[in-house]
Every structure is written in structure tokens, then in C-alpha cells.
A = this chain, B = another copy of it.
Amino acid sequence: MGKLWHKKTELNGEIEKFTVGDDYILDQQIVSADCTASIAHAKMLSRIGILKDKEFKALKRELVNILKDNEDGRFGITVQDEDSHTAIENRLTEVLGEEGKKIHTGRSRNDQVIAALRLFARDFLIYFEKRCMSLAETLINFAEKNKGVPMPGRTHMQLAMPSSVGLWAGSFVEEIIDDTQLIVQAYDLNNMSPLGSAASYGVPLALDREMVSDLLGFKRVQNNVLYVNNSRGKIESVILNAAEQVMLTLSKMAQDMILFSMPEFGYFTIPEEICTGSSIMPQKRNPGMLELIRAKTATVSSLNLQVKSILRGLPSGYNRDFQETKRAFIEGIRTATMSVKIMELTINRLKVNKKALLAGFKPEIFATDYAIQLVKDGTPFREAYREVGLNLDKLEKMDPYKAITEKNYSGAPGNLRLDLSSERLLRMKKEIDTEDLRIKNRIKSLTGLNISFFKTMG
């Protein structure tokens, strides 16, 4: 069957291919969310008397059928369908006839796609939060295990002051938790129901927007109907902002591990089963996945920029430009999620070489500790600094272990306070699990199915 807006004139073939692009492929990922939102919409239409109960039941039955087919990989969208919304309406009309033609009452593809994307994003965000927290836990264990292992601390990539593997890993624990907080905030912004806004200007029907919102487990209705459309892409970019922060954290981890697994350092060994090789050099064990995480950080940034650039300068109301944000959004969040997973796998297998780490301590790394020793003995700091600075050649190596443990206030190498992070994680986890359960139950009540709208891709 044809496009929803088809009347008489045939669309030029090249224009069709260009305007549809790969939207019909991308939309495969939101079919289930789209069907679920349609059930809620239909239920509300029956409540306000637009659909008869019998009609609603028929629509729901077939929508659940599509849902099941889609979950089993048996519901396809074609170029001619153009998008998920059309494919679903076509199927409903095909199977149900007249009743199918009623499903689009009181809505537009504009609010329909936003609804599907929000449900999709909602499940993604919960999954993403969980993966980040899992990485944080892995890092806590790693930090705990290596809290006493000395590691040369660097600034400007040069030797700076004594540090520890625990401090290094602990820094990422806190960073990733702060990043996760941003994901939670993006979740809250995303959790608004767009339905009822139609093409941005409402419809002359007594729609019950609260009811639809509740059925779908949204926290609230996004009120102004024009704002609903104007927020397309913006909420996606807030989500990508959070993903980008996560990637920035991973990128630093990757860069550190690439550096410190070079033979000249040897602090870390990345085991062979997660390394890639070379086609010409038989000896190579390359940290391919870490280099790719570093590169993919640029990718996620660029995709986020793409979304924001597309929005910039658009006037109010729906503009077709929005379609071009969909792929960027989906690709961006998938890239970030996979990267988090691969990083956790890497940390789990990373080997720490204490000997190489200790060998990295040269006398100069203790210069500040010496200067502060002079301060304790009464020399003003700036003088102590100059005195040590002019006598660097006389510095001797200190005990790296002692250099760590004697810095023992909160957050310093001798006192990591990983417990603070563990507690924070526990609190976040509890909240997220509760919310996850709440929305899954709503969707179960509505569709009779246990489904997540976000699927990892293997």
C-alpha cells in the first residue's frame, strides 16, 4: 500500500529514494514503541468516544500482533512504506479495513514519531545507566585491588608526583558516576508525553492527554503543543550530551591505557585475546579496541554536533530536517553503549605490572615531597621550591609506598574513599531499578507483553 499522504500525483522516483533515505531501515528499531504508543492512543480515543469499544479492541489486537511479529523479526518496513508509522497503518487497514483507517484520528506522524523515539530513548537510557554503573563497579573493584600499587603520577605527560593505580582507577569511578548523573537528568527531560500535539497545533477533539501519558508511564504531559515539536532533536541532543561526557571519560581511560601498555612503560598488559594484529608485522599486539574508543569519542561528538547544527536556524513547527537527526541520534547512543561495554571488558582483563610501575619512579618525582618536607621544617614554600629546584641532581629516591600512604586525607592516594562511590552507586541503582520496574509494568499492563524498546545489537 502507499504513503499516508498519497492522493493523486505519483511522487518522482528519485525524490522518493532521496527523501525516504534509510529512514525506513532505522524505523525498524522503533516499531514496537510505535505500536505501544498507538495502543495507548486508541484506548484514549475509545474513552472519549471517537472509537467504539469494539473498534479499539480490534485495533489493539492487531497492534499487539504487529508487536509480536516485530519482536520476532517478522515485521518489515519497505521503501514504499516510507516509515514505521505508515507500515503500521497500512497493516491495520489491510487486516481490519475501516477500523484501520481510524487509528490516525487526532494525531500526526509528528507527535507519533516523537512518542516512539521517547519510549525508545527511555529504555535506552535505563540500559545505558546500568552499563555505566556496572563499569563504575568494575573500576571500584580494580581500584580497591590496586590501591596500594604505586604509579608515577604525571602532568604534561611528564613525571610529576607519586600516585597509585588505585587513585588512577578511582578517578574514573567518580567521573563515570558524575556522567551517569547527567544521563539520569536527560532521562527526566525525555520522560514527557508528546501525544495530543498532533502536527504542532492540536486538533478539535477532546483528547485526554493525561490518560495517554499515564498509560505509557510518562512522568508528565509535555504541555504546549508547539513546544512538543520544537523539542524534537533538542531532547535527543541533551541525551547525546550525556553520552558525549561518558565518551570523554572513556577516551581518557583509553589514552592512558594505550600509553601505559607501550613497552617503554609496561605498567599495564592488555592480554592477547583482546588485542588485534598486523597483516605484515608478525609481532604486533595492538590495542585496537582502545584506539577505536578514542576515535569513536570524536564520532559521538560529531553526531551530537550534527543534531544541534540541523536544529540551529530552523523556524518553529515541524521541518523535514528533523528526519536527518534520527540516524545521528541512534548511531550516537549505540556507539556510546557499546564503548562502555568494551571498556568494562578491558578493565576486567587488564594486567597490572607492579615491577614496571615501580621502575617508573625516578628521584625527581619526589621533588615536591622534599619541598614540603622543608616547609614542615619551617621554610616558606616558595623558598623550599626554589631550593629543591636548584638541587634536583642531589635528589634521592624515596619510598614510593610511603609517598602514597602519607597523603591520607580524603581523596588523596593514601585514602581513596571508594566507599563514598559505592554508597552513591547503591542509591542510584535503587532509584533506577524502581523506575525501570515502574515503566515495564505500565507497558505490560497496556500491551500484555514484557518488552524493552531498546535492543542491544548483539
Contact = CB atoms under 8 A, between A and B. Distances in A.
Interface string A370-402: 011101100011110110111010010000000
A222 B252 CA distance: 19
Given A158-B262, A386-B7, A202 B324 contact: no
A72 interface: no
A204 interface: yes
A173 to B, nearest CB: 7
A341 B201 contact: no
A207 B409 contact: yes
Interface in A226-253: 226-231, 234, 237-238, 241, 244-245, 248, 251-252
Interface in A241-287: 241, 244-245, 248, 251-252, 255-256, 258-259, 262-265, 272-274, 276-287
Contact of A367 (B11, B259, B264, B282): B282
Contacts of A231: 175, 178
A113 to B, nearest CB: 10
A382 B282 contact: no
Contacts of A388: 282-283
A321 B157 contact: no
A158 B284 contact: yes
A413 interface: yes
A426 interface: no
Interface string A60-102: 0000000000000000000000000110010001000011111
Contact of A18 (B4, B110, B302, B342): B342
A445 interface: no
A105 to B, nearest CB: 4
Interface stretch (A28-36, A115-123, A290-298): A290-298
A105 B381 contact: yes
Interface centre among A171, A278, A305 (most CB of B within 10 A): A278
Interface centre among A15, A263, A279, A409 (most CB of B within 10 A): A279
Contacts of A104: 279-280, 381-382, 385
Contact of A155 (B9, B199, B371, B372): B199
A206 interface: yes
A279 B85 contact: yes
Interface string A298-341: 11011101101111111111111111110010000000001001
A407 B204 contact: yes
Given A227-B170, A310-B295, A315-B252, A14 B385 contact: no
Contacts of A206: 408-409
Contacts of A8: 390
A434 interface: no
Interface stretch (A124-132, A181-189, A436-444, A447-455): A181-189
A154 interface: yes
Given A360-B264, A383-B101, A157 B319 contact: yes
Contact of A160 (B199, B204, B287, B305): B199
Interface in A141-157: 153-157
A4 B316 contact: no
Nearest to A102: B380
Contacts of A109: 278-280
A403 interface: yes
A18 to B, nearest CB: 5
A296 B22 CA distance: 13
Contact of A313 (B101, B105, B294, B389): B294
A351 interface: no
A263 B302 contact: no
A283 B251 contact: no
A384 B285 CA distance: 18
A360 B178 CA distance: 40
7 interchain residue pairs of minimum CB distance: A5-B277, A282-B389, A202-B412, A101-B380, A291-B320, A302-B306, A298-B309
15 contacts: A9-B272, A10-B273, A12-B274, A14-B342, A15-B273, A15-B288, A15-B345, A86-B279, A153-B200, A157-B259, A203-B407, A281-B368, A282-B385, A296-B324, A312-B313
